[in-house]
Homo-oligomer: A and B are copies of this chain.
């Protein structure tokens, strides 16, 4: 069982793999293709993944066979284990718990080479719907405080398989960055009775210089204090704390806006490796012995995607301090990205 450990100095949780720890020699061998060219996510290899949790399938086809358009399966090498209880405990001055959680993979398409930016719009919308369905389902497990949805595209961005896929990790703690954002938004709301994110989006849309696209109520922009060149935030202009609140039109709108920005980034930056992460409300169902872990968060949070093209190497400075040097002003990044032509079909 992996372990979750809390750093009392930086106040963050870390997942420590305890079962088969990587030894020094594991880091010095180069493993360019751990699967030797074989892709377990390709059509015909359905038996090489754990069984389907859910899938979008052609009518009349059976689970774990061909005929799918997108599949959700458990990760074969999960960072966290689904069985058991957190069993929170102290170890002297430290805090730890069992590494329980869910770790799933959304295989976005049967096509091995299809970039998410090239997904037909109606299929892109179905992937967004799968995000929602997994969020809803995993939030019913009251052991989990947060459900993370993220995508690593390209080896430099941490992808170990090139077949298009998104990852989902449900955790018994709320990640540090999300807690921090929640706290900032809550403080802002307490003073102003307005959402911090809504205020930012309103100012950006009025100001225009950092806005990249506005599509059907969704906006993509280069954040004022972007840590990385060409960093992008995508968010709904109307207040909404939880991605699962999106209705059918909303799903189409976010599909359009994401497809739009992914095309722009790809064209402007020569198909860069990138990561995106969905930041959405923590699991409001989750309970502690004291009652609800989170009171209602409807006023306090505003879901959004963070997209980070991996263009620069991060140095000791950034890791050791949380302080970033960004060589491209976000106004310039937005300007370059606005100029790109896109095709939303």
Query: Which residues in A have some Cβ–Cβ distance to B below 8 Å?
Result: 3, 5-18, 21-24, 27-28, 79, 91-94, 148, 150-152, 155-159, 167, 169, 171, 175-178, 180-181, 184-185, 188, 196-197, 199-200, 203, 207, 223-227, 229-230, 268-270, 272, 274-277, 279, 306, 308, 311-317, 319-330, 332, 336
Task: Collect the chain B residues with CB atoms within 8 Å of residue A12's CB.
Answer: 225, 227, 322-324
Contact B7–A225 (Cβ < 8 Å): yes
11 A–B contacts from the bound complex (CB under 8 Å):
A3-B329, A9-B196, A16-B326, A18-B329, A23-B336, A27-B312, A93-B200, A94-B225, A152-B316, A177-B320, A274-B316
Contact residue among B269, B311, B326 (Cβ-Cβ distance under 8 Å from A15):
B326
CB distance from A302 to the nearest CB of B (A): 9
Contact B325–A17 (Cβ < 8 Å): yes
Contact A175–B336 (Cβ < 8 Å): no
Contact B317–A277 (Cβ < 8 Å): yes
Q: Considering the complex, give the chain B residue whose CB is closest to the CB of A316.
A: B275
Contact B225–A332 (Cβ < 8 Å): no
Q: Which of A92, A184, A196, A274 has the most CB of B within 10 A?
A: A92
Contact A321–B148 (Cβ < 8 Å): yes
Contact A150–B9 (Cβ < 8 Å): no
CB distance from A202 to the nearest CB of B (A): 9
Contact A176–B321 (Cβ < 8 Å): yes
Smallest CB-CB A-B distances: 4 pairs: A275-B316, A158-B315, A277-B320, A176-B322
Task: Collect the chain B residues with CB atoms within 8 Å of residue A156's CB.
Answer: 313
